[in-house]
Amino acid sequence: QVQWMESGGGLVQAGGSLRLSCAASGSIFSINVMGWYRQAPGKQRELVADITSGGSTTYADSVKGRFTISRDIAKNTVYLQMNSLKPEDTAVYYCKVVRLTIAARYDYWGQGTQVTVSS
């Protein structure tokens, strides 16, 4: 079974930048949407940004203008460039991939990567 692995998290000061990556462990086809979610302690998991197979993007209002989502279709990889980070961006970030076939929908989640922004 294909697994998705995030990387790029860490500790950064406010105003700094990080780039998250999420890649598949093997070949996978018919990916429809790739996205990033985050979950802070005591809060629900929320959408940060996603990108469709056609390149359309959606961003949470809190990250618009600071974060950019992109994907490399050939590499089955999705990226999240995070600039001007704020302490409130501190959370575990998860990638999510939605794969659609004629018969079914498959949702895949990565294991998460911690992002900590110090003030």
The string of pLDDT tens digits covering residues 16-39 is: 999 999 998 877 778 889 999 999
**Three-class DSSP labels, the chain:** CCCEEEECCEEEECCCCEEEEEEECCCCCCEEEEEEEEECCCCCCEEEEEEECCCCEEECCCCCCCEEEEEECCCCEEEEEECCCCHHHCEEEEEEEEEECCCCEEEEECCCEEEEEEC
Residue 36, pLDDT score: 98
Position 34 scores a pLDDT of 94
pLDDT tens digits, 58-95 = 999 999 999 999 999 888 899 999 999 999 999 999 99
Q: What is the model's pLDDT at position 94? A: 97
